[in-house]
Amino acid sequence: MNRRNLAATAAAAVALGAGTACSSGSDHSSHSGMPTSAAATSTSASSGHGHMHEMDGGPAPADMTPAKNPRFPVGSRVTLTTDHMDGMKNAPATVVGAYRTATYAVNYQPTTGGAMVKNHKWVVQQELKSAGTKHLADGEAVTITADHMDGMQGAQGTIASSTTQTVYMVDYTADGMTMKNHKWVVEDEMKSR
C-alpha cells in the first residue's frame, strides 16, 4: 500500500469515529477539516469534493530560491492569522522555509472529478507546469504540478489572484496535532509570537 493510500485509509477510519468539518460553498481558499493522525481531510458540503492533505507536505520544490532577509527567518516562532484549514487560525507555528517567488490562488478542476475548486491558496510559480519566470496574469490558464491535495496534481485551472510577498513553509500545531511542511503561507498571514 503506498503512502497516499495508507494516509487515506487512516483518515477514513478516523473520520468514521470522529467526523470531519465541512466548509460551506465551493470557495476553497481554506482547507476545511483538521489534520487526523495520518492525514488532514477536507470536504466541501456543496460540491461533495473531498481532498487529502497529508500531515507532512514534503520538501519545497528543488528550484525554489530562499528569501534574503525575510521578515520571518527559518526557525521563527509565529502565530498563523489565516484559516486555510480548520484549526489553523491563531495556531502556533515554526517557519521551516522562506522563499521569494510569485504565489498564486488558483481555481482548478480536480483530476478526481467533482466541482471546480475555487480560490485555492496557495501554489507557487514552481508548481505550475511550464510557467517559466514571468509573473502570470489573473485568468491565465495553468496546469498544476503541486500535490497538496488529492486531485490537484495535473489539474487544469486558472489564476484567481497572486502576490509577490515572501512565501513560507511552516510546521504548525492545532488541537494537539502537528502538520509538517505546510505549503504555503504568505507574509501577511502570520505574525510574530
Phi-psi region of 29 (alpha: psi -120 to 50; beta: other; left: phi over 0): alpha
| Rounded Cα distance, 96 and 168, in Å | 7
pLDDT of residue 48: 29
User: Whats the size of the chain, residue-wise?
Assistant: 193
pLDDT of residue 54: 62
Q: Can you name the residues that pair with 19 across neighbouring β-strands?
A: none
pLDDT of residue 46: 27
Q: Can you name the residues that pair with 161 across neighbouring β-strands?
A: 105
Peptide bond into 122 cis (omega under 30): yes
- State which residues of the chain have pLDDT below 50: 1-52
Cβ–Cβ < 8 Å for 120, 84: no
| Rounded Cα distance, 144 and 130, in Å | 10
| pTM for this model (two decimals) | 0.76
pLDDT of residue 53: 53
Contacts of 96 (CB under 8 A, 6+ apart): 74, 169, 170, 171, 180, 181
| Rounded Cα distance, 114 and 56, in Å | 25
Set of cell numbers at residue 23: 466548509
pLDDT of residue 38: 31
